[in-house]
């Protein structure tokens, strides 16, 4: 006897219980602490903070634990929490020139004031599995150097000083917020950057890669990539002064791209910009390349239908919470629509057969 | 400064007021009754309830005529935090009909974004279910409502989908006239 | 934090939603952009409907949630539990008892009444999207009331298939002005949209759009004089449980040999009929 999909409620409860059980796994293995995730899976924590648009390493670690290490699921948990928080206002722009540098490299100059600092990078490691790590070895502290006392000026400022770098147009005083205002096209650059900063790393990586391979080609140099800590402050009208309320880790990338010039402007370099929470340089570089590609229209460059140059395409599809939600919703029942399709196909076949018989 | 109270239980009361306002907006000319709440003179309880439910720091408000008084401005500052603006920038406006002035002074929305149009709360109306004959969405056959200026409102409706929307208030009573309503003669 | 605000959302968000809903009601069929929030369920799983419902609920409401016409499908259960928890509203499976009904893909068979609100979950609110992927373009088409492309597309269907090959999410014209996507309801349900005494609200969370059909709004399914719209369903079948011939039927495969049966997709309609038949028999 047919039973109309009854028992949904109990099925859900049982599934949740199973999920909890599976998350914990073998009880003989110690439970994973949030501090362990925060300290030892720090780059996953950073990605959750960046794409979750919420700077809180402990919450991101919790989200990763709850999501069983599924980063997009953890981003989703973070976003769903973030949306319940009141919005007090906007911080003042962070001064990345005053960043306490952990890593700073330039592909365009061999040396510059402040020097090149490799920092804790994978770059020159040989990707050989380190079987010693499986044995929880003692790790000696890394050698330390004196922190640079002065600010580290941006490398592109040297090009700026020569007039070779196109200046950036300052945005309005009002900071746009795409979580509070529905996206509208064309979107100003500040809003585009906001969308990219929380966009999916994999999506941006592929788009950036596509520009390198010729889809909206615009050769980029990494003018500067820096990672470090910056102070965040806000102006509180009630108090009438600025207060510093946080220190956060950021990755910033400025790309240098050639610009042929136009009738009104001489040839010069232009900039793509990436700024991401935590240590996320793959994302920051990708973001800078996509930002630059999205400026094609403004700079009067050839638009040949490359996806990375298409603002609506990029901004409508870069959010992994939107895309994964919609993608996965096709798991939900569609009996009704499918039934309607089924009847339509049968009817069209009947009609076609009848027409054939009549001929 | 003597401030009248807003909602005692904001989440619940705002929800109830909204449902009644939604009922009114979905049934143009239907006269509904809102909970009595204190409001600074000359603002009616109905208008105050609507403001508490819909207006905040993100919605510029225009106070017209006698409603643009110190008591009302204080109340708006304290309870809503809405920026007070002229008619041309208003998302909401409050005043009696004559004080609100020409309708064309308010944002009418654009062809692309007709929703970006003002909502006018017309206070101290004499609400009666007779007068102009109304038809259109929300009205089964026809409805009647006493309207302040039929000709001006017909001009507004003729711009559909652009145009402003109205909430008429009287004491604790409210009736709505969205731009989609067609207005016949009195 | 243990207790959420009434109906989950904060007051500022609800005010934003309420303003959007009122504008949607004032401009029937027009999609009002709103700043959709991340919800604790995924985009594509009813976040738009959930936000609209959250903005409308009062403690006195009785809520019904259906998916595919059924109250007991897993996502309907999940959404109903969510609101029972965060808004403490009564819930029901009976269409007649509900003051607010959130639905995915169906309109209840039982005619709705004045005072009821039907909230649709909408995946793609833009009816022109399958013709033109760009928002900037479709917005202009709506602004100019330039729907020629849609007419051409539907007519191409007729030329190729002898009929308009759309079985669900069949586009409608609202009060002779806006073309609207009725959400992926089967076209069998389209006539119920027209002149309904209930308020019909549509929420698309991922796409950040809310639109509405006030009660007694004229809603016409797009067609041509020589190819009039028909509200089709399984031909010549009746429900195997309640015997209904007038309801929308789901096809169920019953065995490995290709056996199948048809049952009402609206579980409340079916159960109500079965109960009435039992009463008659007693």
Mutation site for B-interface testing, chosen from C22, C26, C142, C210 by largest number of B Cβ within 10 Å: C26
The answer to whether B38 and B45 have CB atoms below 8 angstroms apart is yes
Which of A80, A324, A336 is facing C69, going by the closest CB pair?
Answer: A336
Is residue A43 located within the same domain as residue A184? no
Which residues span the domain enclosing A53? 9-82
Q: Does A116 lie in the same domain as A58?
A: no
Whether residue A69 is found in the same domain as residue A100: no
CB A225 within 8 A of CB A253: yes
| Interface membership of A333 toward C (CB under 8 Å) | yes
pTM: 0.92
Residues A187 and A294 in one domain: yes
Question: Does B185 reside within a domain?
Answer: no
Evaluate whether residue B186 is within a structural domain: no
Return per-residue pLDDT of chain C as tens, 282 residues: 447 789 999 999 999 999 999 999 999 999 999 999 989 999 999 999 999 999 999 999 999 999 999 998 889 999 999 999 999 999 999 999 999 999 999 999 999 999 999 999 999 999 999 899 999 999 999 999 999 999 999 999 898 888 888 999 999 999 999 999 999 999 999 999 999 999 999 999 999 999 999 999 999 999 999 999 998 777 789 999 999 999 999 999 888 888 889 999 999 999 999 999 999 988
- The answer to the question of residue A140 being in a domain is no
Total domains in chain B come to 1
* pLDDT above 80 for B55: yes
Residue A203 in tokens: 């999506």
Of C30, C27, C31, C89, the closest CA to residue C57 belongs to: C89
* Domain total in chain A: 2
Residue A61's alpha-carbon distances to A33, A108, C124, C165, in angstroms, are 9, 36, 34, 49
| Cα–Cα distance, A142 to A140 (Å, whole number) | 6
Q: Give domain status of residue B4, yes or no.
A: no
- Give tens-digit pLDDT for A213-241: 989 877 899 999 999 999 999 988 778 88
**Has residue B18 been placed in a domain?**
yes
Say if residue A42 is in the same domain as residue A157.
no
Chain C residues within 8 A of B114 when measuring between CB atoms = 27, 30
Query: For residue A222, is it within any domain?
Result: yes
- Domain holding B31, by residue range, is 10-180
Q: Which residues of C are catalytic?
A: 29, 239, 242, 264, 270
A78 lies in the same domain as A193: no
Chain A residues lying within 8 Å of C136, measured CB to CB: 185-186, 312
Q: What is the mean pLDDT of residues A317-331?
A: 95
Q: Helix, strand, coil % (nearest 5) of chain C?
A: 30, 20, 50
Assigned domain for B3 exists: no
Is C33 in contact with A184 (Cβ distance < 8 A)? yes
* Nearest C-alpha neighbor of A220 from the set A253, A248, A249, A188: A253
Which residue among C73, C163, C232 sits closest to A5, beta carbon to beta carbon? C73
Structural domain contains residue A325: no
pLDDT at B3: 65
Neighbours of chain A (3+ CB pairs under 8 A): C
Q: Are residues A101 and A36 in the same domain?
A: no
Structure-token match 């729907």, residue found: C147
Instruction: Give C144's DSSP letter.
Output: H
A121 and A40 assigned to the same domain: no
A353 interfacial to chain C (CB closer than 8 Å): no
Which helix (H) or strand (E) covers residue C25, if one does?
A: helix C11-26
Best of B8, B16, B18 to substitute, by most chain C Cβ atoms within 10 angstroms, is: B18
Q: Quote the pLDDT of residue B2.
A: 56
User: CA-CA distance, A167 to A103, in Å (whole number)?
Assistant: 25
Domain shared by A34 and A104, yes or no: no
Bond into A216 cis (ω within 30): no
């Amino acid at each position: 006897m047919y039973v109309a999909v009854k028992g949904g409620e109990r099925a859900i409860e049982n599934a949740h219980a199973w999920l909890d059980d599976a998350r914990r796994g073998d009880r003989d293995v110690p439970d994973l602490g949030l501090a362990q995730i925060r300290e030892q899976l720090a780059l996953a924590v950073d990605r959750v903070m960046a794409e979750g648009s919420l700077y809180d390493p402990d919450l991101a670690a919790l989200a990763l634990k709850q999501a069983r290490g599924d980063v997009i699921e953890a981003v989703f948990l973070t976003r769903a929490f973030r949306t319940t928080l009141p919005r007090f206002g906007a911080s003042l722009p962070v001064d990345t020139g005053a960043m306490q540098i952990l890593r700073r490299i330039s592909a365009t100059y061999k040396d510059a004031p402040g020097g090149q600092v490799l920092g804790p990078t994978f770059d020159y490691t040989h990707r050989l599995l380190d079987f010693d790590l499986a044995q929880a070895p003692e790790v000696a502290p890394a050698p330390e150097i004196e922190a640079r006392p002065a600010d580290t000026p941006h490398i592109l400022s040297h090009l700026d000083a020569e007039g070779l770098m196109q200046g950036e147009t300052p945005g309005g005083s009002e900071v746009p917020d795409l979580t509070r205002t529905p996206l509208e096209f064309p979107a100003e650059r500040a809003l585009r950057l906001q969308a990219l900063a929380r966009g999916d790393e994999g999506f941006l990586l592929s788009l950036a890669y596509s520009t390198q391979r010729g889809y909206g080609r615009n050769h980029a140099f990494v003018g500067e990539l820096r990672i470090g800590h910056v102070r965040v402050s806000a102006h509180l009208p009630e108090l009438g002064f600025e207060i510093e309320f946080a220190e956060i880790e950021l990755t910033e990338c400025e790309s240098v791209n050639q610009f042929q010039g136009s009738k009104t402007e001489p040839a010069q370099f232009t900039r793509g910009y990436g700024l991401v929470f935590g240590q996320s340089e793959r994302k920051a570089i990708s973001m800078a390349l996509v930002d630059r590609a999205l400026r094609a229209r403004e700079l009067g460059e050839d638009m040949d239908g490359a996806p990375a140059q298409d603002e609506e395409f990029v901004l409508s599809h870069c959010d992994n919470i939107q895309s994964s939600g919609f993608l996965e919703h096709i798991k939900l029942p569609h009996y009704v629509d499918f039934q309607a399709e089924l009847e339509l196909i049968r009817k069209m076949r009947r009609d076609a057969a009848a027409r054939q018989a009549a001929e | 400064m003597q401030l009248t109270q807003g909602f005692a239980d904001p989440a619940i009361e705002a929800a109830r007021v909204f449902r009644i306002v939604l009922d009114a907006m979905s049934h143009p000319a239907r006269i509904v009754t809102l909970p009595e709440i204190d409001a600074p003179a000359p603002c009616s309880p109905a208008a105050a309830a609507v403001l508490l439910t819909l207006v905040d720091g993100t919605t510029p408000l225009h106070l017209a005529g006698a409603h643009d008084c110190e008591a009302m401005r204080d109340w708006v500052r304290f309870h809503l935090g809405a920026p007070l603006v002229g008619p041309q920038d208003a998302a909401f406006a409050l005043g009696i009909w004559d004080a609100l002035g020409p309708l064309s002074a308010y944002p009418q929305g654009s062809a692309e974004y007709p929703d970006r149009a003002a909502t006018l709360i017309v206070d101290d109306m004499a609400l009666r279910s007779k007068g102009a004959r109304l038809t259109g969405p929300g009205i089964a056959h026809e409805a009647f409502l006493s309207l302040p200026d039929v000709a001006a409102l017909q001009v507004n409706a003729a711009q559909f989908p652009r145009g402003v929307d109205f909430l008429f208030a009287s004491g604790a009573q409210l009736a709505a006239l969205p731009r989609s309503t067609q207005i016949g003669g009195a | 934090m243990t207790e959420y605000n009434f109906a989950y959302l904060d007051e500022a968000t609800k005010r934003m939603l309420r303003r959007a809903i009122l504008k949607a009601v004032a401009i029937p069929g027009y999609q009002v952009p709103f700043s959709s929030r991340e919800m604790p369920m995924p985009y594509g799983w009813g976040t738009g409907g959930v936000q609209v419902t959250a903005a409308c609920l009062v403690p006195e409401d009785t809520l019904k949630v259906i998916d595919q016409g059924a109250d007991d499908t897993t996502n309907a259960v999940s959404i109903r539990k969510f609101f029972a928890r965060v808004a403490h509203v009564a819930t029901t499976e009976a269409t007649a008892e509900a003051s607010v009904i959130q639905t995915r893909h169906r309109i209840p068979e039982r005619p709705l009444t004045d005072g009821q609100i039907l909230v649709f979950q909408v995946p793609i609110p833009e009816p022109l999207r399958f013709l033109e992927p760009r928002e900037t373009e479709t917005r202009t088409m709506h602004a100019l009331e330039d729907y020629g492309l849609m007419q051409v597309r539907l007519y191409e269907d007729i030329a190729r298939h002898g009929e308009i090959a759309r079985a669900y999410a069949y586009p409608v014209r609202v009060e002779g002005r806006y073309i609207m996507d009725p959400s992926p309801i089967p076209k069998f349900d389209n006539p119920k949209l027209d002149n309904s005494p209930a308020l019909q609200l549509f929420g698309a969370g991922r796409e950040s759009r809310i639109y509405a059909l006030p009660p007694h709004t004229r809603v016409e399914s797009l067609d041509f004089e020589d190819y009039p719209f028909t509200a089709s369903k399984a031909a010549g079948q009746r429900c195997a449980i309640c015997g209904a011939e007038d309801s929308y039927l789901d096809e169920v495969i019953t065995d490995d040999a290709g056996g199948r049966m048809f049952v009402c997709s609206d579980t409340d309609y079916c159960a109500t009929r079965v109960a009435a038949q039992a009463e008659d028999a007693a």
